[in-house]
Every structure is written in C-alpha cells, then in structure tokens.
C-alpha cells in the first residue's frame, strides 16, 4: 500500500526542520563557512570520476575560487551579526 500524501508532506517538513536546525547550529558555532568548503570538496571528488586529473584541476579552479568567495562572505556576515547583536539599541 502507498503512503498517504499528508504523511509524505509531514516527513518532508520534519526533514526540513532538522536540516534548518543543523545549519543554525553550525552558524552559531561559526562552522557555516566550512560547510561551504566541504560541499565544494565533495563536489570536486564527484566530478573527478572518469576524468583525468588535469581536466579536473582546470575545471575546479573556478569552483574553488567561487567557494572561497562565498565562504569569506558568509564569515563576514557572521562577524557583522555578532557585532551588531552585541550593541545596545539607542
């Protein structure tokens, strides 16, 4: 027997909340930029299958640069939020 669409929707919502909570926990601990770097590393490893090392290196150069830009931006946003959160409202 198939599952009820409402049960499937509830499972998806539960998984979404769990993922959101995990990302928020990483953000509170300051690990969010490293999550981006880890995702890029896994993507690079997956792209390497059935390709020469030279081709992967050429293609991943842009991926690494963009990932570092995103990680740096996320770190800057987190620093800004920390500093803004510590200030008292006038």
Count other Cβ atoms within 10 Å, centred on residue 33: 21
Shared domain for 62 and 82, answered yes or no, is yes
- pLDDT more than 70, % of the chain: 93
Shared domain for 47 and 80, answered yes or no, is yes
How do residues 9-49 score in pLDDT, each as one tens digit?
A: 888 888 888 888 887 887 788 777 787 778 877 877 777 77
Shared domain for 43 and 54, answered yes or no, is yes
Q: How many domains does the chain have?
A: 2
- What's the whole-number mean pLDDT along residues 71-77? 83
> What's the CA gap between 49 and 55, in Å, rounded?
11
Which range of residues forms the domain containing residue 2? 1-29
For residue 78 the two structure tokens come to: 């987190």
How do residues 15-26 score in pLDDT, each as one tens digit?
A: 888 888 887 887
Inter-CA distances, 45 with 50, 53, 90, Å: 11, 11, 50
């Amino acid at each position: 027997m198939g599952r009820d669409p409402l049960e499937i929707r509830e499972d998806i919502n539960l998984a979404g909340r769990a993922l959101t909570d995990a990302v928020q926990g990483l953000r509170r601990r300051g690990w969010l930029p490293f999550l981006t770097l880890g995702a890029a590393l896994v993507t690079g490893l997956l792209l390497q299958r059935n390709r020469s090392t030279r081709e992967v290196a050429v293609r991943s150069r842009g991926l690494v640069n963009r990932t570092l830009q995103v990680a740096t931006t996320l770190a800057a946003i987190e620093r800004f939020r920390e500093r803004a959160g510590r200030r008292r409202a006038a």
